Structure 1
């Protein structure tokens, strides 16, 4: 749906005061998020550039209507995004915060407007236009100054108790640092496609156990089947054990190229009061890496700050620790550290590729007072590899969210 179509839906809804004012206006909400982002990536190998380093300010205005009354409710959402360059020295562009300019640097500013028409009947919703959502088969990325989005239609159905169905079609992607929609391609695989069709469902057998099955088809590039199983077992006061299992099978679609990948992922997390101890394993099998839409997020247990550990034949292990300081009377303060090691990567004719990544994440959100909702987050990462980049990375993010009404 184009922006003109979305505006037409808004005008129609607002021209019906008996319908619109009850829910369309009354249930509407607006918010403004300010996001200040510093990014520094230091390349450690001798034959690489020195670093990518930029500092930028983002403004995210989100306006959401309610739904008109009646059997079929109609609404519209609008998101206005603005990114401003604060600093980007000579030769340090390319952080993903800002669009590139023609001189090899970054543009001083960029803006985008995303519009979505939405429809609701019963417990089902249909959204058409700009889409930002997460699912096991496709997820939009929000790891930079401004979020990425898709263009298409998304249907969510929850008419049956404990069953959630989701499906849709997207035809374009707008990357984090882009103002325009572009054709989709597959990460590491390549190709161009103007259609991704997907569908699936998740069923909650008990409050503790749920399973899902999803399918996606990036037209002329790949087909993918994804199964999930999650279980949360209470072990006593303040204790639990969460099991997260994921299995995907991918193959070619059309005549682009042969493609074969199987991905297995498992994550166990033991929680004790404010502590969480996690252990994960991920295995790639087949002749190709795990395919997913470039500039989106893959649903992999070892997809972390920089790497996805999804190379051909790669095996990877994760150790993770989280702590929520609310357990000792400091709500809003959290800490996370994890380490992932991968090996057996096929490099040329041999399976001798190795890599590792270490992440640290410390965040605090002010809980009350005049600075309530002010957040600060520091993300640190180190990566070492015998077939890819060696790098250190720091991200410092200041954010503030304000409800407008």
Structure 2
């Protein structure tokens, strides 16, 4: 593992020093001030989880208002450019929120919700040619270390991320992170992350095909690898067929907590999982239909987030309210998406999906089942003073037959509503 990490870092350093056949991003810098950007996202959010067949006080419901901001300078001019910025959020609850607990609002030790809270941090950055390095507080979009952005405010990581685009159609990534803060935590390292080293590459093979690989080694937690390939096939009459394959291989260390491990294996270093999904999407004008199959194998389900590895680190097809990632689980999905632009309502989009999972290995059954009906409507304002403001309404109807109640990674039967109103404001 160490050899792989050193090789990746060496490639990044070499890429920053060689001459390239295309324009250098740093050579086009306008300066520290002229390239500066500032924005605030005002978000009003509501999540309600109505859990069936459990005590009423286990239901979760949260409503809050947040302002998510990012102020970032440009890069100074010269061979090496330098810059800095701050990122963070400030929020307050709307109403009592007596049943918070769904990742929206932080809670005091007595279980009561915070009335108001603020988080964030600073970062510095440097750029040589087409290679950038950012050190400090960041929101990550890496398949093996991805920040949760599906709640009121994002999940933050603190550390160093280097991204290099020195070679045409190739992007290399490497980094090290030492802090992880969930969306509903006020402590900057609420998850107690020791050290997570990430590396990876994305390559555009041609205009129709892309491939990527990423890995992470989290100290005393896990080692994980991810691969993806995506191919878009053009068909007649402007239609297309897209194929997407994604897969993870994970091995957990003895010290890691793995909620979905087979009984008797907690505290063992012999816990692993393979999970993959294959999806095909047919698109014709405003209509898209996707069919997907996903399969998990190993003595653990695909556990993520609980080891400070990112609450959104599941770039797989069958991931909605449930991720259909149980031990030995197989799942199939059909999804339909309609873009209303062709019907005179640009900015309006509707997605509906049904996912069915089977052969789940639980403590009392090796063929447990689960299913979810998912619906989402989103409207984004296209012009005028409210341009880019959006309203998203989502509903999930989830059911399973885990009658044992011992599998903590399987939620109870749940009806969930999510409503988010986003109003972005560009400051400069």
State the 1:89 CA deviation. 4.5
Q: Is 1:61 matched up with 2:82?
A: no
Aligned partner of 1:4 in structure 2 is: none
Q: Which 10-residue stretch deviates more, 306-315 or 348-357?
A: 348-357
* Structure-2 change in CA distance of 1:255 and 1:361 (3 Å): closer
Per-residue CA deviations over 1:241-293 (Å, capped at 9, x if unaligned) read: 11111122222346652212111211111111011100111101111111433
Aligned to 2:48: 40
Alpha-carbon offset, residue 342 of structure 1: 0.8
CA change 1:130–1:161 in 2 (3 A) is same
2:68 is paired with a residue whose SS is: strand
Distance 1:236-1:64 versus aligned 2 partners, 3 A rule: farther
For each residue in 1:12-38, what CA deviation from the matched residue of structure 2 results, as whole angstroms up to 9, or x when unmatched?
xxxxxxxxx951100111112110111
TM-score (norm 1): 0.89
Shift of 1:133: 2.1
Other-structure match for 1:281: 293
Say which structure is richer in strand.
Answer: 1
Of 155, 170, 175, which aligns to 2:162? 155
Task: Give distance in 2, aligned partners of 1:255 and 1:231.
Answer: 39
Q: Distance in 2 between matches of 1:268 and 1:89?
A: 41
Partner of 2:208: 208
2:377 is matched with 362
CA contact (8 A) 2:320 2:374 kept: yes
Query: Are the aligned partners of 2:120 and 2:137 in contact in 1 as well (CA < 8 Å)?
Result: no
Match of 2:124 among 93, 112, 117: 117
Asked if 1:267 is matched to 2:275, the reply is no
- 1:157, 1:164 within 8 Å by CA — same for their partners in 2? yes
User: What is the match of residue 233 of structure 2?
Assistant: 233
CA contact (8 A) 1:222 1:291 kept: no
CA distance in 1, matches of 2:55, 2:276: 35
Cα distance in 1 for residues equivalent to 2:364 and 2:50 = 30
Structure 1 counterpart of 2:264? none
- Unaligned 5+ segments in structure 1 are 1-20, 185-191
* Cα contact 2:318–2:355 (8 A) shared by 1: no
Distance 1:158 1:83 in 2: 36
The 8 Å contact of residues 302 and 340 in structure 1, kept in 2 or not, is answered as: no
Displacement of 1:67 in angstroms is 0.3
RMSD: 1.9
SS state at 2:342 partner: helix
**Aligned residue in 1 for 2:416:** 393
Q: 1:170 aligns with which of 158, 173, 177?
A: 177
Does the 8 Å contact 1:44/1:50 carry over to 2? no
Distance 2:315 2:380 in 1: 27
User: What is the rounded CA distance, in whole Å, between the counterparts of 1:252 and 1:61 in structure 2?
Assistant: 35
Out of 52, 56, 66, the position equivalent to 2:60 is: 52
Contact kept, 8 Å, 1:381 with 1:394, in 2: the verdict is yes
Q: Tell me which residue corresponds to 2:92.
A: 84
Q: 2:79 aligns with which of 46, 71, 77?
A: 71
CA contact 2:83–2:126 (8 Å) conserved in 1 = yes
Q: 1:128-169: CA deviations, max 9, x gaps?
A: 111112122221111111111111111111111111111111
Retained in 2: the 8 A contact 1:265–1:300? no
* 3-state SS of 1:307 partner: coil
Give aligned pairs, total: 378
The aligned counterpart of 1:305 is: 320
Instruction: Give the TM-score taking structure 2 as reference length.
Output: 0.84
Aligned counterpart, 2:26: none
Moved more, 287-296 or 361-370: 287-296
